[in-house]
Amino acid sequence: MALLPGTAPPTPPIPPIPPTPRSAVTRRRVALGAVALAAAAALLPSPADADVDLDAGASLGAASGHCANLSRLRVPGAARQQTDCLDELTTAGTVASGHTDPADWAGLTPKGLTVPSGVPGVQVDGYFPDTSTTNTNHGWNHDAQFVVRLPDRWSGGLVVAGTPGNREQYANDRAIADWVLARGYAYAATDKGNTGLAFHRDGTRPGDAVAEWNARLTQLTRAARTVVTQRYHRPPTRTLATGMSNGGYLVRWQLENHPELYDGGVDWEGTLWRAEGPNLFTFLPSALRHYPAHAAGGPAAERARTELHRAGFPAGSEFLWPFHHQVYWDLTQRVYREEFDPAFDGAAEAGTPYCAPGSVPGCDADYDYPARPPEVGAAVERVALTGRIGKPLITIHGTLDVLLPIGRDSDVYARMVREAGRGQLFRYYRVEDGTHTDALVDSFPDRLRPLLPCHRSAVTALEAWLGSGHRPPASRTIARPADADPATLLDDCSLRD
């Protein structure tokens, strides 16, 4: 779920979120007032000529050249937009021009990833109406921010994405946007409506913050299709959804609930939300309970290893456990548990960091999801997946993912798709030795492989599927070549038969 700005070890422990009385949390949630699914009507696009606060950048290049008629672009439903004519839409130019934020995408890609260039066009930044304020990009202090990029040389397609973890709208710029823009796609991304480690404060009832993610991607897709039509005078011939981790979850949810908006999608290790489990709360508490004994060594270490394997953390992934214990497991369990089950720790907010089982009331190492009250499962059910996809979907997932273990996530989702009778729309590729974030490949080049090349291969396979009707190869595990040179791994992932 890529919660942190960077993931290359060593990384210091994450500062705890200080305990806060529940009454104060409630007041903040009311004050922030997330746009929940109950307010879905407010998320529908407004007419293209609706009032909008246009920043000064909208006039640049409007008179002539590749940005002619720039000022006519309107993002339906936006409360604010800033439109700029850029010589370079990829990070080869947007870093220097200030049209991306490297902190958003730090730690998600290998350091050797090349940066394409030569993609001039239009960038539209802005936000939709919202009352929460966690996203500070542009000094706006306003959530529901988005970015839309419109290359001059357009292939006719549109790619839309939500962000991994709780990152902001530029989080996919290196892993996804650079490559699809260079291929001629228009691109749009959303911050999902709330960001940061305290995202769970958004909303008025458990599950609201995550439910908003889905509504925001639906909203952006509708708006981006309209902006594309304004820019190129015809609608996109193909709209693809893609994203990693929480962004991959959004792809699954959109193809299940709004297949009419998309032609297909690529899910990069999406998070599985399922009321009956598995979900985060059915395996992360086991990691918190048993990893300390494993790390300590001694007679209890082997039993702890067995318990971690039983929870879903694969054999052979042990070298990744120290980093994930330090950075991901504890924090992820606490902040997402706070989103769906705030009553577990009483007046505290997001529990007690790194507590030992039985040491304090409401310790997340003691969390027992099946034993929690029915309303907790009902909150998860609001955002749950069903497997009933309505358009072609390709899922990729690394076999050494120890944040979202493959056996508790995509293996299960693949079964759900088949059981829902949608297997003809689905392909699933298990990527041997892939883990949750590709930046870790730089630390373990002889043990890990990046998923990014497999994501690109999946996109091209989906294009062929939608274009010529050539169906991708059968679902399978993509083996890591035994003699793979770490220097060439970024070019290594073929999904061909």
Mean pLDDT of 420-438: 97
- Sequence length of the chain is 497
Q: Cα-flanking dihedrals φ and ψ of residue 307, to 5°?
A: -65, -40
- pLDDT of res. 6: 35
Locate tokens 């870790």: which residue? 440
Residue pair 391/221 in contact (Cβ under 8 Å)? The answer is no
* Tens digit of each residue's pLDDT (9 = 90 or more) over 129-159: 999 999 999 999 999 999 999 999 999 999 9
| pLDDT band with cut points at 50, 70 and 90 for residue 483 | low
For the entire predicted model, the pTM comes to 0.88
Locate tokens 């001629």: which residue? 184
- pLDDT of res. 67: 84
Distance separating alpha carbons of residues 328 and 342, to the nearest angstrom = 19
In three-state secondary structure terms, 139 is: helix
Percent of the chain topping pLDDT 90: 82
With CA atoms as reference, report the closest residue to 492 among 33, 103, 112, 10.
Answer: 112
Distance separating alpha carbons of residues 75 and 222, to the nearest angstrom = 10
Distance separating alpha carbons of residues 355 and 52, to the nearest angstrom = 49
Helices then strands, each counted (H, E), the chain? 13, 11
* Tens digit of each residue's pLDDT (9 = 90 or more) over 334-360: 999 999 999 999 999 999 999 999 999
186-190 vs 157-162, strand pairing mode: parallel
Contacts of 142 (CB under 8 A, 6+ apart): 80, 127, 130, 133, 135
* Tens digit of each residue's pLDDT (9 = 90 or more) over 189-243: 999 999 999 999 999 999 999 999 999 999 999 999 999 999 999 999 999 999 9
Residue pair 85/134 in contact (Cβ under 8 Å)? The answer is no
CA atoms within 13 A on the CB side of 25: 25
Q: Cα-flanking dihedrals φ and ψ of residue 105, to 5°?
A: -110, 10
Question: What is the token pair recorded at 88?
Answer: 């370079």
Q: Is the pLDDT of residue 36 over 50?
A: no
Strand partners, 53: 80
DSSP 40: G
- pLDDT of res. 5: 35
* Tens digit of each residue's pLDDT (9 = 90 or more) over 266-314: 999 999 999 999 999 999 999 999 999 999 999 999 999 999 999 999 9
Q: Cα-flanking dihedrals φ and ψ of residue 491, to 5°?
A: -110, 10
- pLDDT of res. 26: 33
Residue pair 263/115 in contact (Cβ under 8 Å)? The answer is no
Distance separating alpha carbons of residues 17 and 4, to the nearest angstrom = 14
Q: Is the pLDDT of residue 488 over 70?
A: no
Q: Is the pLDDT of residue 102 over 80?
A: yes
Q: How far apart are the first and last CA of the chain?
A: 31
Mean pLDDT of 26-50: 31
Average pLDDT of every residue of the chain? 88
CA angle 131, 133, 139 (to 5 degrees): 125
> Own/partner pairs for 127-130, CB < 8 Å, 24+ apart?
127/78, 127/79, 127/80, 128/43, 128/77, 128/78, 128/79, 128/216, 128/219, 128/223, 129/35, 129/42, 129/77, 129/79, 130/34, 130/35, 130/193
Distance separating alpha carbons of residues 405 and 445, to the nearest angstrom = 20
With CA atoms as reference, report the closest residue to 453 among 102, 114, 4, 105.
Answer: 114
- pLDDT of res. 35: 30
Distance separating alpha carbons of residues 146 and 192, to the nearest angstrom = 9
CA atoms within 13 A on the CB side of 40: 8
Concatenating the DSSP letter of every residue in 308-374 gives HHHHTPPTT-GGGHHHHIIIIIHHHHHHHHHHH-GGGGTTSSS--TTPPTTSSTT-GGG--GGGS-H
The distance from CA 144 to its chain's CA centroid, rounded to whole angstroms, is 15
Concatenating the DSSP letter of every residue in 447-461 gives T---SHHHHHHHHHH
- 20 vs 278, more confident: 278
Mean pLDDT of 474-490: 74
Distance separating alpha carbons of residues 472 and 458, to the nearest angstrom = 9
| pLDDT band with cut points at 50, 70 and 90 for residue 20 | very low
With CA atoms as reference, report the closest residue to 109 among 124, 93, 91, 121.
Answer: 91
